[in-house]
């Protein structure tokens, strides 16, 4: 069990990153609170010795992606989203993160995630493969497809982008 001060420091340092992963993967903040508690409690109780902050950050992202996947698969979530159809679950979120986020929301979850990890977090295909438990060739395929999809959507929306 890690110390409370260490856990508090990690929460302060990586809360924004976890929030962004949730927003990319789930497109809303409805389940963010549960995911935050699960991810940081896993950190608090894990016995892994991290080599450095990059190692820790990659581990936290990996755990968050897994939690988001589980949440997406959840029966209760899918039922709730069905019932709330037309009422975006994250309607209490800050309403506008800009046209790029709106365009990303139209892509499949894996496509959104690989683009975010490459462009914002700066991971290469091999590192993304490790985070998402996928073969590096699969990641290359996903990245290529995601870029094409994003380019098409942005064009349709009247934005020119060099993806």
**Binding mask 53-92 vs another protein (x if CB under 8 A, - otherwise)?**
----------------------------------------
Our finding on whether 4 is near another protein (CB under 8 A) is yes
Q: How big is the site for another protein, counted in residues (CB under 8 A)?
A: 31
Our finding on whether 12 is near another protein (CB under 8 A) is yes
Burial class (CB in 10 A: 0-12, 13-18, 19+), 61: buried
Residue placing its CB nearer to another protein in the complex, 24 or 132? 24
Do residues 113 and 24 make contact, with C-beta atoms less than 8 angstroms apart?
yes
Q: How far is the CB of 148 from another protein (least distance, A)?
A: 13
CA 81 to each of CA 88, 92, 118: distance values in angstroms, whole numbers, following the listed order? 8, 15, 29
Q: Which of 28, 44, 66, 72 binds another protein (CB under 8 A)?
A: 44
Our finding on whether 41 is near another protein (CB under 8 A) is yes
Cβ-count burial 9-21 (b if 16+ within 10 Å, e if not)? ebeeebeeebeeb
Residue placing its CB nearer to another protein in the complex, 53 or 78? 53
Tokens standing for 106? 């139209």
Residue in 139, 110, 117 with CA at minimum distance from that of residue 57:
117
Stretch that binds another protein, among 62-70, 74-82, 116-124, 130-138 (CB under 8 A): 116-124
Binding-site ranges for another protein (CB under 8 A): 1, 4, 7-8, 11-12, 15-16, 18-20, 23, 32-33, 36-37, 40-41, 44-45, 97-98, 100-101, 115-116, 119-120, 161-163
């Amino acid at each position: 069990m890690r110390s409370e001060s260490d856990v508090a420091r990690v929460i302060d340092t990586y809360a924004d990153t976890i929030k962004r992963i949730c927003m990319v993967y789930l497109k809303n903040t409805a389940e963010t609170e549960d995911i935050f508690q699960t991810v940081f409690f896993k950190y608090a109780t894990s016995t892994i010795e991290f080599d450095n902050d990059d190692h820790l950050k990659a581990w936290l992202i990996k755990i968050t992606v897994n939690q988001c996947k589980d949440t997406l698969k959840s029966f209760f979530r899918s039922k709730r989203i069905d019932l709330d159809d037309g009422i975006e679950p994250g309607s209490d979120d800050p309403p506008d993160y800009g046209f790029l986020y709106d365009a990303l929301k139209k892509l499949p979850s894996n496509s959104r995630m690989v683009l975010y990890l490459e462009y914002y977090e700066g991971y290469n295909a091999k590192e993304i493969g490790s985070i998402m438990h996928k073969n590096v060739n699969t990641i290359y395929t996903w990245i290529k497809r995601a870029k094409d999809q994003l380019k098409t959507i942005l064009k349709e929306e009247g934005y020119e982008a060099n993806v």
